[in-house]
Structure 1
Amino acid sequence: MRDMAQSVFMAGVLIGAVVFGRLADRFGRRALLIWSYLQMGIAGTCVAFLPTFSCYCVFRFLTGMAFSGVQLNTISLILEWMPPQWRTLAAILPGQSYSLAQVILAGFAYGIREWRWLQFTMSAPFFLFFVYSWFLPESARWLILNNRSSEAVAILRKAAFINGKQEEGEQLTVEIVESQIKGESTLRPSTSILDLVRTPGMRRISCRLMFIWFSTSLGFFIIATELQGFGISIFLVQVAFGVIDIIGKQASFTALDCLGRRPTVAFNLIFAGLLIITNIFVPPEIPTLRTLLATIAKGSLAGAFTCLFMFSGELYPTVLRQTGLGFHSMNARIGAIVAPVVRMTSNYVSFLPAVIIGTAAIVAGAVVCTLTETHKRPLLDTVEELEHRSRRKPQPG
């Protein structure tokens, strides 16, 4: 029943990635973030008091959907508000917070042994986040692209005032902010997920990212499951996962700022793949070395995951950013769903799962090298801009 509930939760995360990603491009990042916090608070709190397993699964599904909404809208608001030089730091901080929360959750679970009270304790704060989210500004880029330039100007003036640039803020006009968005006259709202593959430039990005996200998730969840079978307590596993992820993400942050997005993601994936395949040749009589290699590989994949959220968001234009992130988050969940099936191949050949995920990670790292570098470059806002860049500078490979 526990495994079934976890599968239902992951299904909610998958569906939420598609639904909330699409809706955020239509109704705005802020509105969907507010709704996601409210849904997370209500559904998570109800889970603690429901009397039947079927009801429990329904609300866990809703919690999974809300989780996707919070995750995707947070990264989009960060990318669309931050200037290029601060974008890396701002995008890495939520990833580090996620890993730190794993450690904190382990501490709460150790102290609160009754699962219902633990569930309530972890869910109630989302009502505070719901209230606080009302004070967050909508993406000015999204407002301008949806013919709400006057609202964008008001928000930008407020931001200028907070940052001590009141004089510059007063000089902003609707005409000035609209002039920063190219192709506005040809902009049309996204109508379906097919917009991700409708034009050549979008098609190249989407197809490559599909494979990259799937391969990263597949390897991450298989290694995470394997590490849980090494005979140590769940508490220590959860703490170790959090610490490993923090180290991996911090190393990735440093590389992102120094080397750029493309080499950082590619290195993380190829390095993890090589470690996984190397582990095949380590004798079972040396479990410490096998555990160490698997742990480092998981940290490297965690770093790749964090980088992919930012890299993918920077590759897509504003009008389709949430749709793209939602679609690829769905690909990642499919990788998590396929992971148990790949693990079952060890019943026939013991090292086959390692060969599959190791090879997939290496190939995914090679595919990353064919994407456009986005480090310290301005975000694209329209599909027309993306296609223009694609024609002006063809993508490698």
Structure 2
Amino acid sequence: MTFVELLARLGGMGRFQVTYVAALAVPLLMLASHNLLQNFTAGVPEHHCRPRPVANESTGDVPLLVSIPSDSHHRPQRCRRYVEPQWHLLEVNGTVNGTANGAATEPCRDGWTYRDGVFAHTIVTEWDLVCESKRLRQVAQSIYMAGILLGSGLFGVLSDKFGRRALLTWCYLQLGATGAGTAAAPTFVVYCLCRFLAGLAMAGVSLNSASLCMEWIPTEARAVVGTINGYCYTLGQFVLAAVAFGVPHWRWLQLVVSLPFFFFFLYSWLFVESARWQVISGRPDLALKGLRKVARINRRKEEGDKLSEEPPLPGGTLAALGRTPGMRTVSCGVSFVWFSTSFAYYGLAMDLQGFGVDIYLSQLVFGAVDIPAKLASVLAISCVGRRVAQGGSLALAGICILANIFVPMELQTLRMAFAVIGKGSLAASFNCAYIFTGELFPTVIRWVTCFLPETRNMPLPETVKDVERRAGHLKDEEVTVPLSTTKTKDGV
């Protein structure tokens, strides 16, 4: 009996699956808060050099015009100040009398003055990440993304060794602790270290949530469940905008979006480990126990009591990703899809301040576009298949991003429109990728388009041989799960 058939006998998309999907989906609300958090915690306010102190004059009495040169838009320059006050720029009545062309300037040796506004308390204002240090702001985000990159591989391998549930529980705790540590960071270096560890955990939460979800639900519900998870991430973008508006101080905002993960850590102990993984890992007794629990929750206790143990299926390792022709094709294709989607998506979503529109409105618009985009993706996935939906969403995103190259910076509305459509297309691509990836890889190494095989209405592969068989490199034969139903004396 295949695992798909086994799940159907135990209730299919029953009460257990619905509750399980909901419990895994709620933490996804907060993932967007961490991924896009620096749009708000690292916002750059208007600023200029602190004027040079003048003898016999209080700093507040020295007009800004004579201390700070103006830029082409007649605004104070951000990173330069006059070496000496240019009093000749003022007439007796205090009006502008000219410009100080050729006047000597110098860097901001006495720090900066930040204007009150949307970004009054950010890591930029706290550690002066402006002018010569402005790149450190991007460095902090890059370090966080490096944590996600490393965590995707690290926690993927560890989850295959120690189990999806155990790693997910640990990642909830790590994300809560490192998020709270970030909020209390005394220095920029400590801040970056905590953000790196948070990125590690974020990857573990994302991957293991997807694995547990995919491995417990029946084939016909995968597209819908995957889209529900995607919409939770979308809703999280609205949550982030609301929380950031209500909690403008970066330390408190960081703490607010991190504390819920301690609650997720507590209730994750109630999760049931993936029976597929337990069977592959040589723990059929534990898989049997979990399946019988599922049967009881789904009110199929009699079916659960009929299950018995058999020898486990052969396992697999990370090396299997490139050992066989079918796996090499799948691995390369999926890696390219994830890299291109992630690179473009976060490139757009993490630079909201650069569009020159109110950042809270931008966050809402960028989140709202995901709603129709993901709905369109699930319809495409169900009607025309994963491959067409994946390729089409990436193609549209590429067109929008390339079009923005030729739009002048002054046309902010048009640039914003192209960016929103592109971001929506990438959200649809993410939706396809989560479902596609889980269906392409076997259980033993489920933890990496036109060259990828279609997976619509196909059962999840359990072993590498299943992938090769689907790619046409092996002959068809029945794939059985090492748990079967026993027969009674009456032959039932």
Same fold per TM (> 0.5)?
yes
Question: Match for 1:379: what amino acid?
Answer: L
Call closer, same or farther: CA 1:314–1:23 in 2, change over 3 Å: same
Name 2:320's counterpart in structure 1. 195
Which of residues 8, 22, 30 in structure 1 aligns to 2:165? 30
Name 1:260's counterpart in structure 2. 385
CA contact (8 A) 1:227 1:294 kept: no
Matched residues in 2 for 1:258 and 1:228: separation? 38
Name 2:210's counterpart in structure 1. 75
Matched residues in 2 for 1:10 and 1:219: separation? 13
> Counterparts of 1:247-286 in structure 2 under 5 Å?
247-279=372-404
Aligned-partner SS, 1:173:
strand
Call closer, same or farther: CA 1:188–1:84 in 2, change over 3 Å: closer
Which of residues 155, 178, 183 in structure 2 aligns to 1:43? 178
Show CA shifts across 1:303-361 (max 9, x none). 10121121011100010002x3xxxxxxxxxxxxxxxxxxxxxxxxxxxxxxxxxxxxx
Matched residues in 2 for 1:112 and 1:281: separation? 37
Matched residues in 1 for 2:341 and 2:464: separation? 27
Which of residues 206, 229, 238 in structure 2 aligns to 1:103? 238
Matched residues in 2 for 1:53 and 1:106: separation? 24
Instruction: State the TM-score, normalizing by the size of structure 2.
Output: 0.65
Aligned-partner SS, 1:134:
helix
| In the alignment, structure 1 residue 387 sits paired with structure 2 residue 486 | no
Q: Which has the higher helix share?
A: 1
CA contact (8 A) 1:39 1:63 kept: yes
Matched residues in 1 for 2:442 and 2:343: separation? 27
Which of residues 206, 209, 213 in structure 1 aligns to 2:338? 213
Matched residues in 2 for 1:226 and 1:96: separation? 22
| In the alignment, structure 1 residue 234 sits paired with structure 2 residue 348 | no
Show CA shifts across 1:108-147 (max 9, x none). 1111122111111111111110011111111100001111
**Higher Cα Rg: structure 1 or 2?**
2
CA contact (8 A) 1:41 1:124 kept: yes
Question: Match for 1:288: what amino acid?
Answer: T
| In the alignment, structure 1 residue 306 sits paired with structure 2 residue 387 | no
Matched residues in 1 for 2:381 and 2:469: separation? 26
Matched residues in 2 for 1:228 and 1:80: separation? 39
Which of residues 53, 65, 76 in structure 1 aligns to 2:188? 53
The unaligned stretches of length 5 or more in structure 2 are: 1-135, 476-492
Name 1:349's counterpart in structure 2. none
Instruction: State the TM-score, normalizing by the size of structure 1.
Output: 0.80
Show CA shifts across 1:182-228 (max 9, x none). xx2xx2441xx433111111111111222222222233234445664
Structure ranking higher on relative contact order (CA contacts 8 Å, 6+ apart) = 1
Q: CA deviation at 1:152?
A: 0.8
Name 1:174's counterpart in structure 2. 309
CA contact (8 A) 1:26 1:189 kept: no
Matched residues in 2 for 1:218 and 1:44: separation? 24
The unaligned stretches of length 5 or more in structure 1 are: 325-367
Show CA shifts across 1:219-270 (max 9, x none). 3234445664221122122212211123211221222222221111111112
Matched residues in 2 for 1:5 and 1:75: separation? 27
Matched residues in 1 for 2:337 and 2:282: separation? 34
CA contact (8 A) 1:227 1:291 kept: no
